Amino acid sequence: MDGIHDMGGMHGWGTVTIDPDEPVFREDWHGRAFAMGAMSMGLSGTNLDAFRHGLERLHPYDYLADGYYGRWLACAETLLVDSGVLAPGAVDARARNLSGESVIEPEDVEENKPVYERGGAGSLREIDDPPAFSVGDRVTAREIRTDGHTRMPRYIRGHTGTIHAHRPAALLPDTNAHFEGENPQHVYTVEFDSTELWGPGAEAAVLRIDLFESYLEAS
Amino acid sequence: MADPTKNKDRLPPEVRAEALESLLAERGLIKSEVLDGFINRMVNDVGPMNGAKVVAKAWVDDDYREHLLADGTGAIKEMGFTGPQGEHIVVVENSDDVHNVVVCTLCSCYPWPVLGLPPEWYKDPAYRSRMVREPRTLLSEMGLDLDDSVEVQVWDSSAENRYLVLPQRPEGTDELSEDELAALVTRDAMVGVAKVGAG
């Protein structure tokens, strides 16, 4: 989806500062949110791609305001509510009661976990199909436009680069996130010159990015 | 845009985290100790000290270095570092002519088994937006000035491959042991936003 998460190449964010004394978790709740976010995938019967799509589905204001672990927390709630493990509004009502308000918490709802076939643990898969591209081939990134999940960022679409490396096959996030099948595919690291992506005035650099076979067409 | 949040009535995240934990715990779906285990692992067991051991070994052992560059996942597993976000790790080597730097523009993918959880700057929209577009300027702002003759290679880890930069061994460290070398290696150098200093 063309969301706030797809940040590559955006202007206006200012500079980056490194805090050399940053702890792993700055707040206690960051650690709790991290752990519950990680566990929410199993508890909701979903997967990592659905989790990433859950992050992308947050309202853009919330995406930015929540910060990294706030997003994990909100995403955990989204997946657990989507799958009926928790009722809509349950977290808010409990939070209000923990804060001293007295509100009625919603009744549990029927579980609605996604039903789909999994090909094993993790994201990598062995596939028999021969790879469509070889190192050195020229390829163009397809103009994928979807309101669902994809790992094809906007700044790559329509641009032409060169296959730099063939990586292990992996399940396709675009369908796996929606429980529509793993569709494992070859993955390639594709190299783009900075001027191809950002125009003739671009800083000299090469950009390498991992793209699924169906994201690419021969050029 | 007086209040830049959509849900103006939403309670603060620390309260919502407590609420979520209590709802899941009373349904028997999570245990507090299990959450503690997740947290302890990320705080104490994984982190840049793991990656630093890999780098130091590659600096002192050419056979290991070749193995690491050819099969990052296998060579890192040999050192005992595995786990989530480490299914396939690719190690990319810096030299006098090439500087590698890693980013994830779409979220904040990061090689957890060797670097732990990503720092705030790696997750910052400024880093995610700018590293693919103006890497030299951003690296300079972060304290790393590269000569124009150095090729900058930016890796956007958009699929399930995770990238670790093998920094250059600093001059004047010939006498140091592997452990002493590992102590010099920083997280920032293994992401590619810094070089390793001689200490």
Say if B90 falls within a structural domain: yes
Looking at residue A195, its pLDDT comes to 98
Regarding an ipTM greater than 0.95, the answer is: yes
CB contacts under 8 A, A 44-63 vs B, are: 52, 55, 59, 61-62
Looking at residue B11, its pLDDT comes to 92
Report the C-alpha dihedral over residues A139, A145, A150, A154, rounded to 10 degrees: 70
Does residue B25 sit in the same domain as residue B75?
A: no
Q: What is the pLDDT of residues A36-76, one digit of tens each?
A: 999 999 999 999 999 999 999 999 999 999 999 999 999 99
Does residue B136 sit in the same domain as residue B175?
A: yes
Does residue B38 sit in the same domain as residue B69?
A: no
Residue the block writes with tokens 């191809």? A196
Average pLDDT over residues B19-30: 97
Using the Cβ of A33 and the Cβ atoms of chain B, whether some distance falls under 8 Å is answered with: yes
Does residue B27 sit in the same domain as residue B79?
A: no
Tell whether the model's pLDDT for residue B166 goes beyond 70: yes
Looking at residue B88, its pLDDT comes to 97
Using the Cβ of A27 and the Cβ atoms of chain B, whether some distance falls under 8 Å is answered with: yes
Which of B130, B148, B163 best tests the A interface by mutation, with the highest count of A CBs <10 A?
B130
Residue of A nearest to B7 (CA): A62
Residue B1: band (very low, low, confident or very high) from pLDDT cuts 50, 70, 90: very low
* Nearest neighbour of B133 by CB, restricted to A9, A124, A173: A9
Cα separation, B112 vs B50, in Å, equals 10
Q: What is the pLDDT of residues A96-149, one digit of tens each?
A: 999 999 999 999 999 999 999 888 889 999 999 999 999 999 999 999 999 999
In terms of residue numbers, what domain contains B88?
Answer: 47-191
Tell whether the model's pLDDT for residue B5 goes beyond 60: no
Average pLDDT over residues B31-47: 94
DSSP string, A34-93: HHHHHHHHHHTT--HHHHHHHHHHS-HHHHHHHHHHHHHHHHHHHHHHHTTSS-TTHHHH
Cα separation, A57 vs A54, in Å, equals 5
Q: What is the pLDDT of residues A144-162, one digit of tens each?
A: 999 999 999 999 999 999 9
Residue B6: band (very low, low, confident or very high) from pLDDT cuts 50, 70, 90: low
Q: What is the pLDDT of residues B48-61, one digit of tens each?
A: 999 999 999 999 99
Chain A hits for B39, Cβ within 8 Å: 25, 31-32, 34-35
* CATH class of the region A138-218: mainly beta
Looking at residue B28, its pLDDT comes to 97
Average pLDDT over residues B103-125: 97
Residue B2: band (very low, low, confident or very high) from pLDDT cuts 50, 70, 90: very low
Tell whether the model's pLDDT for residue A85 goes beyond 50: yes
Tell whether the model's pLDDT for residue B13 goes beyond 50: yes
Does residue B65 sit in the same domain as residue B82?
A: yes
Average pLDDT of every residue of chain B: 95
Domain count for chain B, please give it.
2
How do beta strands A185-193 and B161-166 pair?
Answer: unpaired
* Nearest neighbour of B20 by CB, restricted to A36, A122, A123: A36
Copy the structure tokens of residue A153: 């960022």
CATH number of the domain to which B105 belongs: 3.90.330.10
Does residue B36 sit in the same domain as residue B115?
A: no
Known catalytic residue: B108? yes
Q: What is the pLDDT of residues A165-212, one digit of tens each?
A: 999 999 999 999 999 999 999 999 999 999 999 999 999 999 999 999
Looking at residue A117, its pLDDT comes to 87
Delimiting residues of CATH 1.10.472.20 domain(s) in chain A: 1-115
- Any idea which fold A1-115 has? Cyclin A; domain 1 (1.10.472)
Does residue B55 sit in the same domain as residue B40?
A: no
Say if B57 falls within a structural domain: yes
CB within 8 Å: B133 and A198: yes
Looking at residue B9, its pLDDT comes to 77
Which residues, listed in sequence order, are joined to residue A165 by a DSSP beta bridge?
A189
Does residue B98 sit in the same domain as residue B55?
A: yes
